[in-house]
Amino acid sequence: MEGSWTAKSIDQDLVLLSVCQTCKYMGVDFFDFIRSGEKDIHAFAESRRGRKRPPPTSGLEVIPPDEDAKK
């Protein structure tokens, strides 16, 4: 049956989704990681530090405390 899902195919898709989301969280290009053949995302990310884009931020801006407010 074409196009049907099996437990095995769902498991495989979920693993790929998990790897994709981990790459996104760590600021690593998913396709670069897959093409590299590396099995450790952390090792791959460390080897790429400073070459590509910076790791994603949470979207929150940290504002330093106002020095005048302390007085």
pLDDT of 17 over the 80 cut: yes
In a domain, 63, yes or no: no
- Mean pLDDT over 46-61 rounds to 64
Average pLDDT value over all residues in the chain:
81
In a domain, 58, yes or no: no
What is each CA distance from 65 to 53, 60, 69, in whole angstroms? Answer: 29, 15, 8
| Identity at 21, one-letter amino acid code | Q
pLDDT of 32 over the 70 cut: yes
- Mean pLDDT over 50-54 rounds to 56
Q: What is the pLDDT of residue 71?
A: 52
DSSP class of 27: T
In a domain, 70, yes or no: no
Q: What is the pLDDT of residue 48?
A: 82
In a domain, 67, yes or no: no
H or E stretch covering 7: helix 7-26
In a domain, 41, yes or no: yes
Q: Name the residue range of residue 25's domain.
A: 7-52
Cα–Cα distance, 52 to 49 (Å, whole number): 7
Q: How many domains does the chain have?
A: 1
